[in-house]
């Protein structure tokens, strides 16, 4: 089998798999899906989390560290970076990237008066980081004062999108209080 035929075969299987996955996902219905998510949320320890809500971001990611870097692995057409990434997004549906940069954004915590506060900053992504549909500014330097100025604070239920399409999304969940 030639490479061109192999590429077509992989593409067709990929498209079929995505359609099948969507069909299985939608079969449960919104109420059943929400009940399953609620059951997961009820099992989580008190803390701060990112809830992956996009098809390539699914999961529950703890933010109970000083900084979490979000990005993606290098594709076969790219050289690997010597930079750490904590949460990987598999945005390479055609084995090439679409919206997510390898080092896309960071969420970090800062000591507050009564509890830790959480902030997000774009780390120089190509397609932008959006908080509640508003594009974040990029810092022009590594100066801590400028980083503080362009960072945005995070609140319960905030929606983070890696790129403007809202395909690669997370919801910020502050479960430090025992609220239902």
Closest by Cα among 67, 53, 68 to 161: 53
Q: How much is the CA Rg of the chain, to the nearest whole Å?
A: 18
Global pTM reads 0.88
Q: Is the pLDDT of residue 180 over 70?
A: no
- Confidence band for 33, pLDDT divided at 50, 70 and 90: very high
Of 17-21, 52-56, 132-136, 144-148, least confident by mean pLDDT is: 144-148
Q: 76 is written with which tokens?
A: 């076969």
* Per-residue model confidence as pLDDT tens digits over 46-75: 999 999 999 899 999 999 999 999 999 888
Of 92-101, 105-114, 138-147, least confident by mean pLDDT is: 138-147
E strand or H helix that includes residue 105:
strand 105-110
Q: Which CATH number fits domain 46-174: 3.30.2350.10, 1.10.10.10, 3.40.50.720, 2.60.200.20?
A: 2.60.200.20
């Amino acid at each position: 089998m030639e490479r061109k035929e192999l590429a077509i075969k992989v593409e067709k299987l990929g498209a079929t798999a995505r359609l099948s996955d969507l069909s299985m996902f939608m079969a449960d219905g919104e109420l059943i899906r929400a009940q399953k998510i609620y059951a997961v949320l009820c099992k989580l320890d008190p803390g701060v989390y990112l809830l992956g809500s996009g098809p390539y971001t699914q999961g529950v990611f703890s933010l109970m560290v000083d900084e979490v870097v979000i990005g993606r692995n290098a594709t076969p057409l790219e050289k690997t970076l010597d930079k750490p990434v904590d949460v990987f997004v598999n945005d390479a549906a055609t084995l090439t990237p679409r919206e997510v940069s390898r080092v896309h954004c960071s969420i970090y915590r800062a000591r507050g008066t009564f509890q830790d506060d959480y902030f997000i900053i774009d780390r120089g992504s190509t397609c932008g980081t959006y908080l509640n549909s508003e594009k974040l500014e990029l810092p022009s330097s590594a100066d801590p004062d400028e980083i503080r100025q362009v960072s945005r604070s995070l609140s319960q239920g905030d929606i983070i999108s890696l790129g403007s399409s809202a395909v690669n999304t997370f919801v910020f969940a502050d479960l430090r209080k025992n609220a239902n």
